[in-house]
């Protein structure tokens, strides 16, 4: 290991600008499943942070040859950290994240184990298959189930539907992201997947409070802002759209709650803003 590894290199490897959306996923699923905010939720948040960050480290470790050819600015090909150290960090974080889930119950631990396997599978093959966005979506879906199971209650139907809607959203933005290094024009069909959370929010519980409808309206407005004119732009400009859509996951989570309170709205909104602020320093992809 080099005598000094810059903190920024670690932040870039972990894509920490997306962590607020990991926390919002945990919070939404926890609240949807009727969980009380206890110390267990803090433990869940720490574990989810490690699982996500470890997965992102391993992503760069698996992609090192691709990055040397196409993304030389990434920390490993830029010589800021060795691939061996990245393997060590990534594996350690992933394992520690799973171990922290163990006190939250056997069901949560089992789903977290499946999540860890899915993360590694995505990292290992995502450059070699067009189905990689489905694996990424599965990671977010399983994170919802981990958080819901960690409440130590049976996972309810609302969690299931909103997890599926989030998975559709992530699939859509992931297909956009696959064009960041390509040529040509953006395909239109992923847009249909991006509106899945709006459909689910209206169908799962149409008797929603005013703030819940306002959250859905805010999400719709953000989608329109991110996608403005993109169908007429070359793929080289997709990165900004993908980053915006990633931050928008926090808005997706806010829209899941049928009785959204002002306090929770501020928290989800704060996580959304925090993701945008962090993106100014650490790339989201």
Q: What is the pLDDT of residues 121-141, one digit of tens each?
A: 999 998 888 889 999 999 999
Residue 168 domain-assigned?
yes
Look at residue 284 and tell me if it is in a domain: no
Asked if residue 55 is part of any domain, the answer here is: yes
**Number of domains comprising the chain:** 1
Separation CA 40–CA 42 (nearest Å): 5
Residue 34 lies in a domain: yes
* CATH assignment of the domain containing 230: 1.10.357.140
| pTM for this prediction | 0.92
User: Within 126-279, where are the H helices?
Assistant: 132-150, 157-177, 190-194, 196-204, 210-227, 238-247, 249-254, 262-279
Please list, in sequence order, all residues whose beta carbon lies within 8 angstroms of the beta carbon of residue 182, skipping any fewer than 6 positions away. Answer: 235
The verdict on residue 285 lying in a domain is no
Q: What is the pLDDT of residue 3?
A: 42
Closest CA to 42 of 64, 58, 59, 27: 27
- Report whether 247 contacts 173 (CB < 8 A): no
Q: What pLDDT, on the 0 to 100 scale, is given for residue 151?
A: 95
Any domain includes 1: no
Whole-number pLDDT of residue 232: 56
pLDDT at 147: 97
20 touches 275 (CB < 8 A): yes
In a domain, 2, yes or no: no
152 inside domain:
yes
Q: Which residues form the domain of 25?
A: 7-279
Q: Which residues of the chain, if any, have pLDDT below 70?
A: 1-5, 179-187, 229-237
């Amino acid at each position: 290991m080099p005598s000094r590894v810059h903190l920024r290199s670690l932040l870039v490897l972990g894509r920490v600008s997306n962590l607020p959306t990991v926390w919002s996923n945990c919070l939404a699923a926890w609240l949807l499943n009727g969980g009380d905010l206890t110390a267990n939720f803090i433990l869940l948040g720490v574990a989810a942070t490690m699982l996500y960050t470890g997965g992102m480290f391993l992503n760069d470790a698996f992609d090192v040859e691709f990055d040397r050819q196409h993304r030389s600015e990434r920390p490993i090909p830029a010589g800021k950290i060795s691939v061996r150290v990245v393997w060590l960090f990534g594996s350690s974080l992933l394992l520690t994240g799973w171990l922290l889930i163990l006190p939250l119950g056997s069901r949560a631990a089992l789903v977290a184990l499946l999540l860890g396997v899915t993360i590694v599978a995505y990292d290992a093959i995502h450059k070699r298959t067009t189905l990689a966005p489905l694996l990424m979506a599965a990671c977010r879906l399983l994170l919802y189930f981990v958080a819901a199971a960690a409440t130590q209650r049976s996972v309810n139907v609302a969690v299931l539907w909103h997890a599926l809607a989030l998975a559709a959203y992530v699939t859509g933005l992931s297909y956009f992201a696959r064009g960041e290094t390509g040529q040509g024009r953006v395909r239109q069909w992923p847009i249909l997947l991006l509106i899945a959370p709006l459909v689910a929010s209206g169908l799962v519980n149409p008797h929603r409070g005013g703030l819940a409808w306002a959250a859905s309206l805010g999400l719709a407005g953000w989608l329109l802002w991110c996608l403005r004119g993109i169908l007429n732009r070359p793929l080289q400009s997709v990165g900004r759209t993908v980053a915006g859509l990633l931050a928008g996951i926090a808005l997706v989570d806010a829209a899941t709650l049928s009785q959204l309170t002002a306090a929770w709205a501020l928290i989800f909104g704060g996580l959304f803003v925090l993701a945008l602020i962090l993106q100014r320093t650490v790339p989201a992809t």
